[in-house]
């Protein structure tokens, strides 16, 4: 699938963006360009924002093909890497506004955990929010977004490629709520 010029430019800018580099205990070691953190298999900080509507449905979106990790995968959370001089909460607020056009909502902090996959190593912070307004997706990062029942998102995750890190965040959230 072809990648648009705006997606390619966005990816190039994203790759050189400075992100927080941490150790296995989530202690800050410094900052590195995002691509270097990935290439050296170092640990960064990431945020996951589970966006629900007032009916309890979860916003699920499909990532663009230009994403460095999990291109074209479905994602159960907005989110991304924590930038330099940014807290987990600040990153979560920024990412939710960038990816889905949602701002001015209360973010509820839930869990922090370490995720290690073949392609990424992250200290993760999980937040949730409720939103009934329209979604304004960022076309360089998100192809489609819609709300669906959580049970349906979980069922589809067994049939289609879903981002394993955000899926882990969702399952941890549901277990803590006694819903899984």
Q: For the chain of 180 residues, list the mean pLDDT of each consecutive stretch of 10.
A: 71 80 97 93 97 98 93 97 96 97 97 93 98 95 96 98 97 91
86 assigned to a ligand binding site: no
**DSSP code per residue over 17-55:** -EEEEE-TT--EEEEEEHHHHHHTT-EEEEEEEEEE-TT
Q: What does pTM read for this prediction?
A: 0.93
Q: What is the CATH number of domain 5-176?
A: 3.90.79.10
116 Cβ neighbours under 8 A, 6+ residues apart: 122
pLDDT at 99: 96
**Strand 121-130 and strand 43-52: pairing?**
parallel
The model's pLDDT over 15-59, given as tens digits with 9 standing for 90+, comes to: 788 999 999 999 999 999 999 999 999 999 999 999 999 999 999
What are the φ and ψ backbone dihedral angles of 161, each rounded to 5 degrees?
-70, 120
Distance set, CA 118 to CA 89, 113, 151 (Å): 26, 17, 27
Domain boundaries defined on the chain: 5-176
Specify the DSSP element, H or E, that contains 74.
strand 74-75
90 belongs to an annotated ligand binding site: no
For residue 134, the 8-state DSSP code is -
Q: Tell me what pLDDT residue 104 has.
A: 95
What confidence score (pLDDT) does residue 12 get?
A: 67
74 φ, ψ to 5°? -85, 150
Q: What is the CA 156 to chain-centroid distance, rounded?
A: 18
Rounded Cα gap, residues 20 and 28, in angstroms: 7
Residue 78 belongs to what H/E stretch? strand 78-81
Q: What pLDDT, on the 0 to 100 scale, is given for residue 180?
A: 73
Residue with tokens 């990062």: 141
> Who's near 171: CB < 8 A, 6+ residues apart?
180
With 0-12 / 13-18 / 19 or more C-beta atoms within 10 angstroms meaning exposed / middle / buried, residue 26 is middle
């Amino acid at each position: 699938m072809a990648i648009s010029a705006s997606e390619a430019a966005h990816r190039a800018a994203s790759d050189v963006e400075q992100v927080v580099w941490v150790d296995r205990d989530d202690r800050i070691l410094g900052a590195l360009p995002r691509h270097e953190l990935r290439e050296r298999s170092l640990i960064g900080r990431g945020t996951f924002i589970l966006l629900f509507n007032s009916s309890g449905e979860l916003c699920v979106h499909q990532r663009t093909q230009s994403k460095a990790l999990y291109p074209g995968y479905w994602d159960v959370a907005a989110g991304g890497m924590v930038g330099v001089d940014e807290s987990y909460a600040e990153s979560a607020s920024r990412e939710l506004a960038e990816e889905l056009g949602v701002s001015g909502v209360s973010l509820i902090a839930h869990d922090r955990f370490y995720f290690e996959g073949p392609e990424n190593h992250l200290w993760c912070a999980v937040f949730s929010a409720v939103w009934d307004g329209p979604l304004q997706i960022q076309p360089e990062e998100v192809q489609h977004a819609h709300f669906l029942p959580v049970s349906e998102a979980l069922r589809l995750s067994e049939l289609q490629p879903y981002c394993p890190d955000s899926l882990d965040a969702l399952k941890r959230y549901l277990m803590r709520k006694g819903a899984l």
